Amino acid sequence: MRKTIVSLLLAVMLLCTAFPIAGFAVTMGDVNGDGKVQADDARWALRAAVELEVLTKAQAFRADADFDGEVTPADSRLILRATVGLQDLIEREMPDFPDKDEPVTVTRPEQPTEQPSEQPSEQPSEQQPANPQFSAEQYAYLAGSDFRSVRYQYSHAVAEDGYVVAYVDRNGDQCVMTYVIFSIGPGKYYKFTLHNLSTGQTIPNPSKAFDEMADRAYGAKHLMYLELSINALDAEGACFDGVHSVITTGRNTGKGVYVDAATLNA
């Protein structure tokens, strides 16, 4: 009899593990649901925010780290900060999603395939570079140079929008992040490039690159690379927000320099 009861209890526990039900607590930021908050979760959240990843409703709930009802670059920054102990993420009760495994549509408006018809007005006051050492024209040239490296590989690539943000990283280095959106045939793609003006380094896909460096490092270096990844992810999110403001309002309300398609394709 005792063995039968124990067997039944074990069976119930296994069923609960295999088929989680609504009402159980989940850790916010654990986008992929593996029980851990890691850099991959932050990357998932960022890719979902820029419509490069489609999350299920359950994943989108866990990715909404700031509880504002949508997945944005701000969520990815909170998640990445949590991986290095700079942010506390709480547990919340998972709502009863009848279709929790169904894809959820990101609430941000889609970026058009054509250049916005209305360009930002008052560009001198709206497009002040974050680093006074460089002019808006120099930042635009840098973004154009990064797109030309794309066109060198894919001659039929066409740039659509660009954005440049300058910042100082955790090492005190002057950095510039460029963001270029381009199409190749019917597909739309993007490229982030980090230019470290202090060291002369150029790093494509920097947040991912720093994450990979952190995976291979230990101790203080591991923490340093994760913090650099946070810096890069902050800049990447700022670039996306800047382009988003131009597309939706016709004005650059971001903290960087918007670069139009004509300049990038020149």
Per-residue DSSP letters for 241-266?
HHHHHHHHHSS--SSSEEEEHHHHH-
Do residue 24 and residue 127 come from a single domain? Answer: no
Do residue 234 and residue 189 come from a single domain? Answer: yes
Question: Residue 168 has what pLDDT?
Answer: 92
Q: Does pTM top 0.75 for this prediction?
A: no
Question: Residue 188 has what pLDDT?
Answer: 86
Do residue 28 and residue 160 come from a single domain? Answer: no
User: Residue 54 is part of a domain; what is its CATH number?
Assistant: 1.10.1330.10
Give the C-alpha separation, 120 to 109, whole Å. Answer: 18
Do residue 86 and residue 127 come from a single domain? Answer: no
Do residue 62 and residue 138 come from a single domain? Answer: no
Domain that holds residue 38: 2-93
113 lies in some domain: no
189 lies in some domain: yes
Question: Residue 1 has what pLDDT?
Answer: 58
Q: How many domains does the chain have?
A: 2
Question: Residue 22 has what pLDDT?
Answer: 47
Do residue 139 and residue 252 come from a single domain? Answer: yes
Do residue 72 and residue 132 come from a single domain? Answer: no
Question: Residue 198 has what pLDDT?
Answer: 92
Do residue 131 and residue 241 come from a single domain? Answer: yes
Closest C-alpha among 76, 126, 138, 137 to residue 256:
126
User: What Cα–Cα distance (Å) separates residue 63 from each residue in 6, 29, 51, 77?
Assistant: 37, 5, 14, 11
108 lies in some domain: no
Closest C-alpha among 209, 215, 207 to residue 240:
207
Query: Consecutive 10-residue runs of the chain (266 residues): their mean pLDDT?
Result: 54 47 69 82 77 80 86 80 73 65 44 34 38 75 92 92 93 93 89 93 89 85 84 85 86 91 92
Do residue 196 and residue 239 come from a single domain? Answer: yes
Closest C-alpha among 192, 162, 190, 191 to residue 177:
192
Do residue 156 and residue 79 come from a single domain? Answer: no
